[in-house]
Every structure is written in structure tokens, then in C-alpha cells.
Amino acid sequence: MCIRDRVSTQSTWGLSGTHIFYMVVGFIGLLLYYPVSTLIFPNFQFNDKALDLKYDSTFVVLTFQMNLIITAISILLAPENPTDLTSVYVTLGANCILLLILAFSSLLVKPACLIKKVDQWERLGYLIAAWTNGCGLLVVFTQSSLEIYIILAL
């Protein structure tokens, strides 16, 4: 009997009781690990003497949370069908809103970075990323890119 024949005749899919147990234990471990690592990690930057740019701990936690949400939205709402534009609207719109929140949160946390010029450049980067997502949303919504290129050039 060939190995290929043996594998093709056996069932390779199924969640038994042990699989569900391992999933639950892994999820509980993630729930215990993630908050602790999120709150402890920003404090490591002050221990590193070679690090030139140091940010406020609140801003670092907020940035990591927003990046996690943006990544989760982009992965979980990825369209299965290329003609399905609903998930594209939601993904681009949510990314635009979250990037604007990051840009304006750097205004609220005084100073987000210890070097003020870096705050301005970082804020500008978030605004450019939000602008690009907004223009992408308009391109998908209008199904015509010429007008959007004109708006983007302004």
C-alpha cells in the first residue's frame, strides 16, 4: 500500500475533543499574555540606551492597538470574491478612520515623542496614509480613477 493511498483514504479534517481543548487553552493563554505584554513592552524603550527615539508609553500602547486592529480588519475582511466590494469599503473606511485617530492622538499625547520634529513627521505620515486610504475608497466607490487622481494631485 502506497503512502499516498493511505493518506487519501483517511479523514484529515475534523475537530475532536482534544482539538477544541487545545484551542480553548491557547485562547486563554493569549488572553493572559497579550494585556501583560502590551503594557510592559513600552517601558523597555527607556531601558535601551541606544534607542534615540523614545515615545510616551500611552502613545506606544495606542499605536500597537490601532496597528493590531488595522491588521485584523485587513485580514478578517479580505474579500473572498474579487467582485465583492462591501468588505473593501469597510476595510478602507475603517483603516482611514483608525489612521486619522492615530494622527490626532499624537496631538493629544504631549509629547508623543521626546523629539518634537519627529511628532510632526509621524503625524504627517499618518495623515498621508489616511489620505491614501480615503482616495482608494473613492476610487473603488466611483469605479473611475481619473477624477480621483485629479483630487489626489491637489
| pLDDT level of residue 148 (50, 70, 90 thresholds) | low
Q: CA-to-CA distance for 67 and 131, rounded, in angstroms?
A: 17
The pLDDT tens digits of the residues spanning 77-135 come to 777 776 777 788 888 888 889 889 888 887 777 777 777 788 888 889 989 999 888 88
Listed in sequence order, the DSSP H helices in the chain are 3-9, 17-47, 57-76, 86-108, 116-142, 146-153
| pLDDT level of residue 28 (50, 70, 90 thresholds) | very high
The pLDDT tens digits of the residues spanning 10-26 come to 555 666 778 888 889 99
Helix, coil or strand: residue 113: strand
- Contact between 123 and 55 under an 8 Å Cβ cutoff? The reply is no
| pTM across the whole model | 0.69
